[in-house]
Amino acid sequence: ITDIYRFEQRLELLIEEIRGIDFLKKYNLPFGASIGAIYGVPRSYTSAELIQYSDELMYKAKRAGKGRVIIEELPSKSFPQKLMKTFD
């Protein structure tokens, strides 16, 4: 997907699909989903760095509330200083 707006729309549709799962509704348990997604060219990142960055976005989306979508572009020059400490 080259259009970030369309990407966000598809992720929001996915959240709506999750909310509509009848199997889960029958248990009367509150459930929902939030999605953190990254885009960009990951050439200079290790798999561990991509997973760490994705996890950060997922938790950012969760902190924003149920049913949220957070999409960010991978930084192009260096990994964010906050996350670099994790890999030292």
Tell me which H or E stretch contains 71. Answer: strand 69-73
- Give the tokens for residue 58: 């997922």
Question: Of 77, 31, 76, 79, which Cα lies nearest the Cα of 51?
Answer: 79
pLDDT at residue 78 in the model: 55
Of 6, 86, 84, 14, the residue nearest 39 (C-alpha): 6
Does the pLDDT at position 9 exceed 60? yes
Sign of CA dihedral 38, 17, 61, 59: negative
Report for 5-19, 24-38, 68-82: range of highest mean pLDDT:
5-19
Three-state DSSP class for residue 70 = strand
Predicted TM-score (pTM) above 0.85: no
